[in-house]
Copies of this chain bind each other. A is one copy, B any other.
Amino acid sequence: MITGKNYIGNNLSSKGTKQYNTFNPQLNIKNEHVFTEATAEEIDEAVHLATEAFKVFRSISKEKKATFLNTIADEILALDDFLIKTYCSESGLPEGRAKGERGRTVMQLRMFADLVNEGSWVDATIDTALPNREPAPKPDLRKMYIPLGPVVVFGASNFPLAYSTAGGDTAAAFAAGCPVIVKSHPMHAGTGELVASAIVKAVQKTGMPNGVFSNLNSSGIEVGEQLVKHSGVKAVGFTGSINGGRALYDLAAQRDEPIPVFAEMGSINPVVMLPKSVKHNYERLAKTYASSITLGTGQFCTNPGLILGIKGDDLTNFIIKLSEEIVKIDPTCMLHPNIIKAYDAKRQKAVNQDNLHVAAEYAEDVKTNYARQTVATVSGKAFIDNPTLHQEVFGPYSLVVECESVEELEAIISNLEGQLTGTLIAHDDEAAQYPEIVSALQNRVGRIIFNGVPTGVEVCPSMTHGGPYPSSTDSRFTAVGIHSIKRWVRPFSYQDWPNELLPDELKNENPLGISRLVNNKQTTEKI
C-alpha cells in the first residue's frame, strides 16, 4: 500500500502540509497518490533516531548485517508486480527495464551481504609489538575500517530502484554499518515508499534498531538542504545533476564540521573514433551508436554525448549513416515532463549555437513526453571556442566533433571537463599509434572502454563509476561495486588494546577467519 507518508524510523508520519503527486509521463496524467513532504521536526527526529541507532548498528555482528541486507532484497521481491507497475507509472520506463533494474538492486544488496558475511572488507591490518626495540619499544597496533555515522542518500531520477531508496549508496552504507536517511526523489515517491516499506519490514524482521532507516518525502530542495546541514549527518550520497550535486557539496563544505559528499553528476562520455576504424567500420559503428545514444531515451549517466573524430570523407560517411540509423529508431518516453522540457531547452540551446549543424533529428510526430533523438556536428575549433557545447544535454542527443588534426583532437580531450567514461574506437593495432590520445583521455575519465559503448555499467569489483570533477565530487571513490563501501568508512587504530576487548576482526585468534595484513604478510592465520 502507498500511504504518501514519510517513514521516520519504522513509523509512518505526515505532520506537514506541503503535498504533491507523482506523474505518469506515458499517460501524461498525475498519479493518484498524494505525498506529504517531511517537516523540519520530522527531519530532526529521523536524524536523532539514526544517531541513536548508530550506537548499536555500528558494531552489530556481520551475520546480522548480512541477513538484514538479504532480507531487504527478499522484501523488495515480495512487493512483486505492484512495485513494477508503480515504477512504470512514475517513470514512463517499460516493464522490462523495471524488472532489470529490480534485479540489479537485489543483486547489489546480496553482493554487499556476501561482502559483509565474508568480512575481509574491513582491511584488518595488524603490527604486533616489539617490546625490546631500540631506541623505543614498538607498540601493538591494529587497524580496521569503521562506519562514519548516519548517511543521507539522495535518490536519482533516472534509476528509481538501483540508485535510489535501496540502491547502491544505501546498500553500501548499511554494509558499512551506517544508518541511512533517504531523501526520496519526488518523481518516484511511490516507488520510493514501497521500497522503504520493504526496508522497514527487514528492519523489524531482523531486529535492527529503529532509526537505522528513514525515508523522507520532498518536492523541493528544502528537505535535502536541511538534512545536509544537520550536525547529526556524517556523509552524503547523491546521484543527479551537476547543479544539484554541487549545491549539496557546497552546503556540506560550509558546515562547522564539513562532511564528505559523494555526488555522481553529469558526464558527456566522450567517444574517440580513430581514423582507420571509422574508415573500415563506419556502418557498424553508426548502428551501434544510434542504439547506445537512444538507449533508455538517452537517460543514462554514461550516454555517449560527444563523438570525436578526424574530419574527412570517412567521418562524413559515419555521420550520414548514424543520422540514417538514429531516425529509424522509435522515440521513447522521458521520465517526466520537466525532464523532456529540460532536454528540449538544452538541445535547442545547443543547436542554436553558431557553427553547429543538425545532422539528424527525428521529424515525425511524437507522443507527449517522447523525445526526438538528435545528432549534431561541429568543427573542432568551434567546439574548443564554445563551452556551451561541452555541457551535457540529458537525453538522446550526441554531438560529433570533426577535428582538423590529431593535435586538435588531443587538445580537445585534454581540455574536457572530468568524465565518468571515455571510449576509444580503434582498428587492429591503431590504438598503439596514439599513446598521447590514450593518455590524455585517461587523465579526464574514471573508466576507459575499448571498441565498445559507454552505456552499461557492470556491477563488479573492478568497476569504477566516478571520475574527475564534475563527473563526481571526489574521484578517489567509485559509486558502483564493492569498493563503493569505502565512501562511508574510516580507518581506526587500536594501540596496545587487550585482546578480549578488540573487535573480532582484530583478535589474535582471528575468529572470523578473515584475510588480514599481519606484520606485512596477508594471511588468514591466527597470531
Interface residues of A in 127-164 (CB under 8 A from B): 127, 135-136, 138-139, 141-143, 146, 148-149
Nearest CB of chain B from residue A421's CB, rounded to whole Å = 8
Chain copies in the assembled complex: 2
Whether B446 pairs with A494 at a CB distance below 8 angstroms is: no
Please give, as numbers and ranges, the residues of chain B lying within 8 Å of A486 by CB-CB distance: 476
Known interface pairs A55-B439, A258-B249, A260-B474. Does A497 touch B448 (Cβ–Cβ under 8 Å)? yes
Q: Is A11 an interface residue (CB 8 A)?
A: no
Please give, as numbers and ranges, the residues of chain B lying within 8 Å of A398 by CB-CB distance: none
Considering the complex, give the chain B residue whose CB is closest to the CB of A234: B468
Please give, as numbers and ranges, the residues of chain B lying within 8 Å of A462 by CB-CB distance: 125-127, 141-143, 493, 517
Whether A478 pairs with B458 at a CB distance below 8 angstroms is: no
Please give, as numbers and ranges, the residues of chain B lying within 8 Å of A460 by CB-CB distance: 127, 138, 141
A interface residues, tally (CB under 8 Å): 76
Nearest CB of chain B from residue A71's CB, rounded to whole Å = 23
A139 and B450 CA atoms in complex are apart in Å by 10
A257 and B417 CA atoms in complex are apart in Å by 9
Known interface pairs A250-B253, A517-B461. Does A442 touch B492 (Cβ–Cβ under 8 Å)? yes
Please give, as numbers and ranges, the residues of chain B lying within 8 Å of A495 by CB-CB distance: 447-450, 452
Known interface pairs A475-B148, A476-B489, A491-B446. Does A461 touch B125 (Cβ–Cβ under 8 Å)? yes
Please give, as numbers and ranges, the residues of chain B lying within 8 Å of A447 by CB-CB distance: 492-495
Please give, as numbers and ranges, the residues of chain B lying within 8 Å of A449 by CB-CB distance: 139, 495-496
Considering the complex, give the chain B residue whose CB is closest to the CB of A475: B490
Please give, as numbers and ranges, the residues of chain B lying within 8 Å of A487 by CB-CB distance: 476
Please give, as numbers and ranges, the residues of chain B lying within 8 Å of A141 by CB-CB distance: 458, 460, 462-463
Whether A493 pairs with B446 at a CB distance below 8 angstroms is: yes
Nearest CB of chain B from residue A148's CB, rounded to whole Å = 7
A250 and B253 CA atoms in complex are apart in Å by 7
Whether A451 pairs with B492 at a CB distance below 8 angstroms is: no
A497 and B438 CA atoms in complex are apart in Å by 11
Considering the complex, give the chain B residue whose CB is closest to the CB of A487: B476
A466 and B432 CA atoms in complex are apart in Å by 43
Q: Is A17 an interface residue (CB 8 A)?
A: no
Q: Is A331 an interface residue (CB 8 A)?
A: no
Please give, as numbers and ranges, the residues of chain B lying within 8 Å of A456 by CB-CB distance: 136, 139
Q: Is A522 an interface residue (CB 8 A)?
A: yes
Q: Is A515 an interface residue (CB 8 A)?
A: yes
